Amino acid sequence: MRVATFNANSIRSRSNVLVKWLKLHQPDILAIQETKVQDVDFPISDFADTGYEVIFRGQKKYNGVALFSKEKPTEVVSTLRQDTTDQARFLKARIGNVTLINTYIPQGAAIDSDKFHYKLNWYRWLLEYLQTHHTPEEPILWVGDLNVAKEDIDVHDPDRLWGHVCFCEAAQKAFQEVAEWGFVDVFRQKHPEPGHFTFWDYRAPNGLRRNVGWRLDYIMMTPQIADKCIDCWIDREPRGWDKPSDHTFLIADIDL
């Protein structure tokens, strides 16, 4: 099984990238974040010839999550009960023998802002959801743009960037509490060395070439799936294509 995750930063702007990438890599499941489109305007016709089942939950201009799957998703859930803001950030489905949870974690704006408190709460709500509805013994994939760099090697300049909303003690702790519920960070398990990133800011001059990046995108697995993970890797190439997202694809190959 091949599973991938990608922050599209507007799916309508990234349709050509997605169609090209799907044809090249043929993932069984692709999770997408930041679609930035309400459901009625989702460009479903752009993907009609790809052979994928597509489900999504969106809102106008912001956020939004989607799943592309070769197998029809079932048992779909698209909200966290505690999140009364109705932001489109959560999409869970049963696909084959696994449960996939696709999340677009809030970025947080500024440490002292309500948006940062919302970010920390969102992590807590996700943990409560897992504790209520699942166990770590189940085959679960938690994927997406988690808007956290969990250690120094996940950013290009840790000394300068420490204290950013995605690279600070509170965000790391919130992430770690969910991870300790029963997830393995399979990319870091397979690739413990520095210099691997999934996001390069458009505003950084020659950021991709200079590798001025962050690792913000994750594929987390419960142990029984992690034990079967062959590799987890970052596909940098699409970041250099025409009209790229500021993120790129993270892929895991699993012996399932």
Query: Would you please indicate which residues are annotated as catalytic (active-site) residues?
Result: 104, 145
Residues 6+ apart with CB under 8 A from 168: 111, 162
- Please, how many CA atoms are within 13 Å of residue 172, restricted to the half-sphere of its CB? 12
Which among 87, 207, 83, 106 is positioned nearest to 165, based on CA atoms? Answer: 106
Which among 116, 180, 108, 190 is positioned nearest to 142, based on CA atoms? Answer: 180
Q: Where are the alpha helices (H) located in the chain, listed in sequence order? A: 15-25, 114-133, 158-161, 169-179, 186-190, 207-210, 223-226
Amino acid at 216: L
- What are the backbone dihedrals phi and psi of residue 92, each rounded to the nearest 5 degrees, phi first? -115, 145
Round to whole Å and give the CA distance between 200 and 193.
18
DSSP 60: S
